[in-house]
Amino acid sequence: MVADGVVGETGHGAPLLSRSVELARFDELLDRAARDARAATRGGESRDTGRSQLVDITGAAGIGKSRLLGEVCARARRRGLTVLRGRATEYEQQVPFQVFTDALADLDPHTLDDFQDADAVSPLLQRSAARHSDAADRFGLHRSTAALLARLAAPSGLLLALDDLHWADSASLELLDHLVRHAVHAPVVLAVTRRDRQSPESLAARLTRGVDDGTVVRLGLGPLSAHDCAELAGPGMSPADTAALYAASEGNPLYFLTLLQARRGGTTSESSSPPGLGALLLEELTALTPSQRGIVEAVAVLGEHATPAMLGRVTGRSGTAFTDDVDTLTHRDLLRSDPQGLLTLRHPVVRTLVHERTPFSRRVDIHRLAAEELALAGASAAERAHHVERSLTAWDPAAVAVLDEAAARTARTAPASCAHWLDVALRHLPHTVEHAPRRRELTLRRAHALAACGGLRESRDLLQELIATPSRSSDGHATDEDHDLRVRAVVLCALVERHLGRCTEAVALLRRELARDPAPADVVRLGLELGSAAPQGTGTSYPQVRAEVEAALAAARSMGNEAGEAGLLAVAALGEAYEGNMSAAHELARQAAALVDSLPDNDLTALCEPLARLGWAEAFLEHYPDAERHAERGLDIARRSGQLYVMPHLLLCLSHVRVQTCRVSSAVELADLAEDISRGIGSDQLLTFALASKASALVASCPPGDPRPRAVAEEAVAAAGTGVNWWASTAWCIFGWASLMAGDPVGARDALLQAGGPELHRIQPSMRPLYLEILVTAALVTGRSEEARERAEQARKEAEQLGLPMQRASALRSTAHLPLAQGDTAAAADLFAQAATESARCGAVFWEALSLLLGAPLETAAGRARDGTLAWLRGRRLAEAGGSGMLVALADATRPPDGGSETAYGSPDRAELAERLATLTAREREIAELVAQGLTSQAIADRLYVSRRTVDTHVSRAFRKTGVSSRTALATLMARRRTGNRFVDARPDQD
**Residue 159 parent element (H or E):** strand 158-163
Pick the closest to residue 686 from 734, 654, 727, 725 (CA basis): 727
How confident is the model at residue 821, as a pLDDT?
Answer: 84
Backbone angles phi, psi at 242, to 5 degrees: -60, -45
3-state SS string over 917-984?
HCCCCHHHHHHHHHHHCCCCHHHHHHHHCCCHHHHHHHHHHHHHHHCCCCHHHHHHHHHHHHCCCCCC
Distance CA 809, CA 843 (A): 12
3-state SS string over 333-379?
CCEEECCCCCEEECCHHHHHHHHHHCCHHHHHHHHHHHHHHHHHCCC
pLDDT single digits (tens) 34-64: 999 888 777 544 345 678 999 999 999 889 9
Pick the closest to residue 438 from 428, 451, 450, 452 (CA basis): 428
539: left (phi over 0), alpha (psi -120 to 50) or beta: left
- Among residues of the chain, what percentage have pLDDT more than 90? 62
Distance CA 91, CA 99 (A): 12
Contact indicator for 853, 875 with CB cutoff of 8 Å? yes
Contact indicator for 123, 414 with CB cutoff of 8 Å? yes
The sign one gets for the Cα dihedral 623, 625, 628, 634 is negative
DSSP string, 164-201: -GGG--HHHHHHHHHHHHS--SSSEEEEEEE-TTTS-H
Contact indicator for 444, 488 with CB cutoff of 8 Å? yes
Distance CA 566, CA 594 (A): 8
Distance CA 837, CA 760 (A): 28
Contact indicator for 610, 653 with CB cutoff of 8 Å? no
Distance CA 270, CA 192 (A): 39
Backbone angles phi, psi at 344, to 5 degrees: -135, 160
How confident is the model at residue 535, as a pLDDT?
Answer: 66
How confident is the model at residue 129, as a pLDDT?
Answer: 40
pLDDT single digits (tens) 203-229: 998 899 889 888 899 999 999 889 888
How confident is the model at residue 641, as a pLDDT?
Answer: 86
**Residue 708 parent element (H or E):** helix 708-720
Pick the closest to residue 129 from 411, 380, 340 (CA basis): 380
Q: Within a 10 A sphere around the Cβ of 945, how many other Cβ atoms?
A: 6
Pick the closest to residue 190 from 423, 345, 26 (CA basis): 26
Distance CA 850, CA 813 (A): 10
pLDDT-flagged residues of the chain (< 70)? 1-15, 43-49, 126-136, 265-274, 472-478, 535-539, 898-916, 942, 945-946, 949, 960, 963-966, 968-969, 972, 975-991
Q: Within a 10 A sphere around the Cβ of 732, how many other Cβ atoms?
A: 24
3-state SS string over 503-534?
HHHHHHHHHHHHCCCCCHHHHHHHHHHHHHCC
